[in-house]
Amino acid sequence: MTAHAMEEMAEDDLDIIDVEHAVLSGRIARLEKDDPRGNKYVIEGVATDGLTPVGVVGRFVSDDRYLIITVYQITEA
């Protein structure tokens, strides 16, 4: 997890367990192919409370390692 992701997580009152739950219970909402460093996967899931929608953006840096780039609480636009 990047330092940026940890900062964003804290700003939205989320903790690592919320992020893990969102990744494990969520789905890939989008695949962004425009980054020269590699594809980014946007996962949308829920925090451990079962109500708070959470977005997690990351990329695979190896076959078995997913780097979380940013985390955010999904809000209505």
Total domains, the chain = 1
Asked whether residue 77 carries a pLDDT value surpassing 80, the answer given is: no
pLDDT of 17-65, one tens digit each? Answer: 999 999 999 999 999 999 999 999 999 999 999 999 999 999 999 999 9
- Residue-range definition of the domain harbouring residue 33: 3-73
pLDDT of the residue at 76? 77
Q: What long-range pairs does 3-6 form, CB within 8 A, spacing at least 24? A: 4/69, 4/70, 5/68, 5/69, 5/70, 5/71
